[in-house]
Amino acid sequence: MPRVVTFHYTLRDPAGRVLDTSAGADPITYLEGAGQIIEGLDEQLRVATAGEKSQVVVPAAKAYGLPDPGQVQKVRRELLPIAGELKVGDQFQAGPDRHAPVVTVRAIEGDDVLLDGNHPLAGVDLTFDVEIVGAREATESELTHGHAHGDCGCGG
Ligand SMILES: [Zn+2]
């Protein structure tokens, strides 16, 4: 039976830099196997029990995937919605929609800019320091809805 798991985490890249953490905020609650957290973390926490602290390393392929060379393209500088200076490493949204993908500037060659549309964490192995706050069996209605209940606001 899938469980509903609640946990705190600190996410680091291979250089040990903190990318994200739930410390100081509410823990994360998810339904196992429902795609609510990254696949590799979900898989490796299947045996974790409440109170457990562990370090979970998720290879890039099971996190944000491997970079797709097809997502890298050369664009004329003047076509970009960015006024002012542009530097290698800059990130911005590729369109006016707030769900537009984030692109990263990989290179600037004269009037051309090499933009990378891959997720910024594509190709990055992730390390999670995890503390399991709680784990319980999912209810029938959670399984039907495909998410954990609590403050999801669905009324279930
Ligand atoms: Zn629901």
| Contact assessment for residue 113 and residue 58, using Cβ atoms and an 8 Å cutoff | no
pLDDT at 34: 95
All residues at 6 or more sequence positions from 102 whose CB lies less than 8 Å from its CB, including other chains: 91, 92, 93, 94, 119, 120
- Ligand 1: distance of its center to the CA of 102 in Å? 30
**Minimal CA–CA distance to 110: which of 76, 72, 71?**
76
Q: How far is the CA of 39 from the centre of ligand 1 (A)?
A: 21
Q: pTM of this prediction?
A: 0.80
Q: How far is the CA of 3 from the centre of ligand 1 (A)?
A: 15
- Taking the C-alpha atoms of residue 91 and residue 74, their distance in angstroms, rounded to an integer, is 15
Ligand 1 mean position, distance from CA 151 (Å): 9
142 CA → ligand 1 middle, Å: 6
Strand 3-12 vs strand 18-21: parallel, antiparallel, or unpaired?
antiparallel
- DSSP label of 78: G
Distance 31 CA to ligand 1 centre (A): 11
Cα-to-centroid distance, 114 and ligand 1 (Å): 43
Instruction: Give the pair of three-digit tokens for residue 89.
Output: 């490493």
According to DSSP, the residues that pair with 73 across neighbouring strands are: 115
Find the 144 Cα to ligand 1 centroid distance in Å: 8
Whole-number Å distance, alpha carbon 6 to ligand 1 midpoint, is: 16
Go through the chain and tell me how many residues it has: 156
Tell me how far apart the terminal alpha carbons of the chain are, to the nearest angstrom: 19
Distances (CA, A) of 130 to 28, 95, 97, 114, 146: 11, 35, 34, 37, 23
Cross-strand bridge partners of residue 70: none
Per-residue pLDDT tens digits of the chain, which is 156 residues long:
899 999 999 999 999 999 999 999 999 999 999 999 999 999 999 999 999 999 999 999 999 999 999 999 999 998 887 878 899 999 988 878 888 888 999 999 999 999 999 998 999 999 999 999 999 999 999 999 999 998 778 877
Centre of ligand 1 to C-alpha 143, Å, is 9
Looking at residue 93, what is its pLDDT? 87
Return the DSSP state at 139: P
DSSP bridge pairs for 132: 7
What pLDDT score was predicted for residue 80? 87
What is the structure's pLDDT at 81?
79
